[in-house]
Structure 1
């Protein structure tokens, strides 16, 4: 069976994966891009944008895993758009006509709408269902490949609570946000369900990997 994986989910030292005040102009609220500076500095990210250079080492090795072996993605409503994007029938996500996913994408929302086919192989499907049902749809669409759980923190937390995540990589960035949406709330004793490894990077980022124990 294909795995459900989380890759490159960045959080602050106090556990926030996005800041307060998300809007069209500020997708990550008051956090800005501070959670992702390590990622956009990597050789992998530069290559995606056709740019030279970029850092190598630990950060780049984790960044590269973002594209490896996925056949579908699941994301929450907060990743797809700013608050109340459901009120705009023309909203098609932050990423323009050719989004970077190139797979079926299942957007979890309480206000579903018809699917949207984009350039480059991305099709957005809008679903209002329990995590296990969404995962089953995504696995069928992935056709044997893994499914990426793309965030944000609320939907990742829901799938963790349901015991559905097989692998998770969290990049802990050395900043304090103080407010926003936290990843860890309500996940007491999560360590009992996963084998956890920690790798430090010269950038100051701490990479935590969670591999699910046999269920």
Structure 2
């Protein structure tokens, strides 16, 4: 049975992107520092078609993250960024170029319709009728594999609040951003999390939680 998983880097003060996000600086001020632990990894570089890289305690985490994923979901701001709203500029094909790193059907939450977009082995589907519809479409497309909720913060929070998330893994990075996109914002204290594991690695601590039903 498919599990719905979210996996995201986060600052110690709770932000997954810094302030003043824009098309020129999609992760906001200081946001690039959240990913300094992952970019040098061999497991990350292989997933992006590159060679070489480091092997350390984060390698296991990244390999598990990439295993058994049959579909993905993301919010419009993660796909487009810069706080853009309104109808699509269809010349925009995402941050990842002609070879996106997802390799599975990926569902983008939006208020504005757009035809599916295929780049290499990734097809983006634009979902206008809410997270429940995206949940069902991704579950079916995954074919028994897991569904990864890529982000951003608001999308993960929506799935968690709706009881549609099974696992949450936070990669806690020792930086303070002081503002930006905050994760776990204004959620009910009735949402239960059970810690599954914690792994210390260079520049990051990986903490995985199971969502308690």
Output the TM-score relative to the length of structure 1. Answer: 0.90
CA shift, 1:204, in A, is 4.1
Higher alpha-carbon deviation: 46-55 or 151-160: 46-55
| Contact in 1 for aligned 2:197/2:209 (Cα 8 Å) | no
The match for 2:96 is 95
SS of the equivalent of 1:34 reads helix
The match for 1:17 is 16
Q: d(CA) in 1 for partners of 2:53 and 2:142?
A: 33
| Contact in 1 for aligned 2:77/2:84 (Cα 8 Å) | no
Q: d(CA) in 1 for partners of 2:162 and 2:209?
A: 15
CA shift, 1:87, in A, is 4.1
What is the CA RMSD across the aligned residues, in angstroms?
1.8
Q: d(CA) in 2 for partners of 1:193 and 1:36?
A: 27
CA shift, 1:47, in A, is 3.1
CA shift, 1:122, in A, is 0.8
Output the TM-score relative to the length of structure 2. Answer: 0.91
What pairs up with 1:1-215 in 2 under 5 angstroms? Answer: 1-7=1-7, 9-48=8-47, 49-57=49-57, 59-82=58-81, 83-84=83-84, 86-119=87-120, 121-189=121-189, 193-213=192-212, 215=213
For structure 2, list consecutive stretches of 5 or more residues without a partner in the other structure.
none
Greater share of residues in strand = 2
Greater share of residues in helix = 1
| Contact in 2 for aligned 1:198/1:206 (Cα 8 Å) | no
| Contact in 2 for aligned 1:154/1:183 (Cα 8 Å) | yes
